């Protein structure tokens, strides 16, 4: 068994949830925040048998797309606006960042 942890954009989260439910794949959604953009994203925890890992990755690939996101410039709080110049920065946020971990033991009570 494996644990798939997938960080996806909030915009894709409902679509991915529906696709997982349709394929009878159990998942837990966690509200998360990207360390860089400090914007909300969604982390899916999916415990799954080894032979179903690839189909789950296919579903994630099909339902999550990369987008350009603009990072707002940092506003000057200290009155030294001329000491640095801040521009809006555009970054490409991936469709999904996926970690696949081995599970030693799985129990449900
Ligand atoms: P964020 O940390 O908010 O990052 C959003 C996007 O900003 C990243 O997209 C990347 O394109 C860019 N970025 C991140 N750190 C950067 C840096 N130090 N310098 C320049 N650009 C940077 P993705 O790589 O697709 O990541 C999307 C989200 O997935 C991340 O949101 C974070 O929540 C998660 N993530 C990505 N890599 C991770 C990792 N190694 N461990 C844990 N979470 C990760």
Task: Say what the pTM is.
Answer: 0.89
**Distant-in-sequence contacts of 88-94, Cβ < 8 A, 24+ apart:** 91/36, 91/37, 92/66, 92/67, 92/68, 93/9, 93/34, 93/37, 93/66, 93/67, 93/68, 93/69, 94/66
Residue 71 alpha carbon, nearest atom of ligand 1 = 7
> What does the domain layout of the chain look like in residue ranges?
2-73+88-102
Report the pLDDT value the prediction gives residue 87, as an integer from 0 to 100: 78
How sure is the predictor about 89, in pLDDT bands with cuts at 50, 70 and 90?
A: confident
Q: Tell me the pLDDT tens digit for each residue of 17-39.
A: 999 999 999 999 999 999 999 99
Q: Tell me the pLDDT tens digit for each residue of 46-78.
A: 999 999 999 999 999 999 999 998 887 665 555
Which residues, judged by CB distance below 6 Å to any ligand atom, belong to the binding site of ligand 1?
7, 34-37, 39, 41, 91-94, 97
CATH fold for domain 2-73+88-102: Alpha-Beta Plaits (3.30.70)
Which of 93, 95, 96 maximizes ligand 1 atoms within 8 Å of its Cβ, making it the mutation to test the pocket? 93
């Amino acid at each position: 068994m494996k644990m798939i942890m997938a960080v996806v954009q909030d915009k894709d989260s409902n679509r991915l949830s529906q696709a997982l439910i349709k394929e009878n794949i159990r998942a837990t959604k966690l509200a998360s925040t990207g360390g860089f953009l400090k914007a909300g994203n969604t982390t899916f925890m999916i415990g799954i048998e080894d032979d179903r890992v690839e189909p789950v990755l296919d579903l994630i690939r099909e339902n999550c797309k990369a987008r350009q996101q603009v990072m707002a410039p940092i506003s000057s709080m200290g009155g030294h606006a001329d000491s640095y110049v801040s521009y809006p920065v555009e970054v490409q946020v991936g469709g999904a960042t996926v970690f696949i971990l081995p599970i030693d033991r799985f129990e449900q009570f």
